[in-house]
Amino acid sequence: MAATNTSLEELGSHEDAINDIVEELDFEAWIDGKSVEANSRNTFRTLDPAVNKPITKVTQCGSAEVDAAVNAGWSVFESQWKETTQTERAKRILEWVDVLREHEDELTLLEALDTGKPLSDARWEVQGGIDTLEYYASIIRTHGGRQIQASTDANIYTRKEPYGVVGQITPWNFPMWAFGWKIGPSLAAGNVSVLKPSRYAPLTSIRAAQLSKDILPDGVLNVLPGKGSEAGAALSEHDKVRKVAFTGSVKIGKIAMKAAADHIAPVSLELGGKSPFIVFPDADLDTVISSLSTGIFYSTGEVCEAASRAIVHEDIVEEFTERFVEEAESYVVGDPLDSDTTMGPLTNKEQFESMKKYCEIGQKEGATLLTGGEPYETDLDGWFWKPTVFTDVDNDMRIAQEEIFGPVQTINTFSIYDEAIEIANDSRYGLAAGVGTENSSIAQNAIKDLDAGSVWINGYGPILPETPFGGFKDSGFGNDLGEEALEHYSRTKTVGINFDEPQI
């Protein structure tokens, strides 16, 4: 593909880029180390959201493919993968990482076309997904059980063992990140993965799996694109899937959890969010505006931890609002393949319709629309939306309570610390929270009082392979990333070796 040899910025039109892909690559399911051929009956077309045109056809998997992948997974697990040492697995993953890095341009282009992300963001996320695989290959070598010195006549210790075949379901907003977050800890811990990416953006997951050919044993990594209600449901219901890891909406997370409960498979859920960012009166506004705008507008706001609720002290709200609106309007919305673009389209029509709906609801509820609230007009036929800011927002409004999953910021105000915390925590979600303050006592109290899985002071992030990431309340449980994720992909076996006094 041209993108592997040339600068992505020189790619030209979407049509050229798509033609390159279609000519050189196939996007079939990846099962047992092979592409499973698509036929006209069971394929779907993935769309480029910037131009609303098909990119390529993709295999649409159902329960038969899930069965095939799960059986292939168990076969390789029993025959060889479970006998591998941590070092052997680490080496194979690192070898794969090298190949993925050689294909970074290609994966970047696929991600940008499939999701509408600007190329620089797509590249950052491809690198992040690959780094995460590398991280787990590194830390697995020191992962293990522990010695328990509770007895003088028994040697008691724990062993960390894999589950076997793990089912993993990912959303469309960060395909390559989600791939690394799920596959890294699973394979490093000795499991076999069957991953179902979202049908809206499956290309990088399939391609990354293809690039593991002859490095990972056949069947260790399987990727099954398809509908959630078919492939996703079949995977979470499958009684030979010993663990289910799901990232997506609360609604579907509950369905996956119930399905897994039927065969007592443990579940980890990374779900939605409606994250607050509290701006105290002493905050450094340069820092706050920059981190909060990235927090809500990065990836067109299609971000689970999007900082979508600004809770701003009444003394500074006027200056904050003026500067924030200016920042929102400075985003360059447009073609993801244009290097000047800082915000691409929404990923699909449903998202676009949902934005329309929420912008109308906000105004009907009495919030004041300061900027945006409408499609961004371009020559391209995609799902572009203007960065949007609402003020005069009460926290019980729908736009402050429901996950919009688009570039919409709400601003409401507070006067005392307790009120700020109360508003921030008044949400079914608890994924992340941000705080702007120069006062360390305020910061320390907020860290303790905010009911969220991540709290960031004077910034929004970072999320790194080393940093556990997960939600409280309806945002889910069981962290991705960090050593914690490795724990979620390992079972603990307790061993007791009893011994007598020596008789000689």
Residues linked to residue 34 through DSSP beta bridges, in sequence order? 31
For position 68 contacting ligand NAD by CB under 6 A, the verdict is no
For position 456 contacting ligand NAD by CB under 6 A, the verdict is no
Q: How many degrees, rounded to 5, is the angle at CA 424 between CA 419 and CA 427? A: 125
Site string for ligand NAD, 224-243 (x = CB under 6 A): ----xx--xx--x-------
The answer to whether 480 and 182 are in contact (CB under 8 A) is yes
Q: In the set 48, 106, 121, 403, which binds ligand NAD (CB under 6 A)?
A: 403
Residues 342 to 401 in contact with ligand NAD, rule: CB under 6 A: none
Which helix (H) or strand (E) segment holds residue 196: the answer is strand 192-196
**Minimum separation from the CB atom of position 415 to ligand NAD (A):** 31
The question of whether 270 is a catalytic residue gets the answer yes
Residues linked to residue 43 through DSSP beta bridges, in sequence order? 59
φ, ψ of residue 269 to 5 degrees: the values are -125, 120
Radius of gyration of the chain (CA): 24
Where residue 164 falls (left for φ over 0; alpha for ψ -120 to 50; beta otherwise) is left
Q: How many degrees, rounded to 5, is the angle at CA 345 between CA 132 and CA 174? A: 15
Q: In the set 32, 105, 111, 270, which binds ligand NAD (CB under 6 A)?
A: 270
Site string for ligand NAD, 176-215 (x = CB under 6 A): --------------------x-xx----------------
For position 271 contacting ligand NAD by CB under 6 A, the verdict is yes
Residues 154 to 173 in contact with ligand NAD, rule: CB under 6 A: 169-173
Q: In the set 175, 273, 345, 387, which binds ligand NAD (CB under 6 A)?
A: 273
DSSP 290-323: HHHHHHHHGGGG--TT---EEEEETTTHHHHHHH
Size of the site for ligand NAD (CB under 6 A): 30
The residue among 109, 104, 75, 80 whose CA lies nearest residue 92 is 80
- Residue of this chain nearest to ligand NAD (CB atom): 228
**Minimum separation from the CB atom of position 441 to ligand NAD (A):** 30
The question of whether 304 is a catalytic residue gets the answer yes
Closer to ligand NAD by Cβ: residue 405 or 414: 405
For position 255 contacting ligand NAD by CB under 6 A, the verdict is yes
Torsion 213-55-377-306 (CA) sign: negative
The answer to whether 335 and 122 are in contact (CB under 8 A) is no
Which helix (H) or strand (E) segment holds residue 412: the answer is strand 408-414
For position 61 contacting ligand NAD by CB under 6 A, the verdict is no
Residues 129 to 148 in contact with ligand NAD, rule: CB under 6 A: none
Closer to ligand NAD by Cβ: residue 86 or 347: 347
**Minimum separation from the CB atom of position 270 to ligand NAD (A):** 3
Residues with catalytic roles = 270, 304
Q: Which residues bind ligand NAD (CB under 6 A)?
A: 169-174, 196, 198-199, 228-229, 232-233, 236, 247-249, 252, 255-256, 270-273, 304, 403, 405, 431, 471, 476
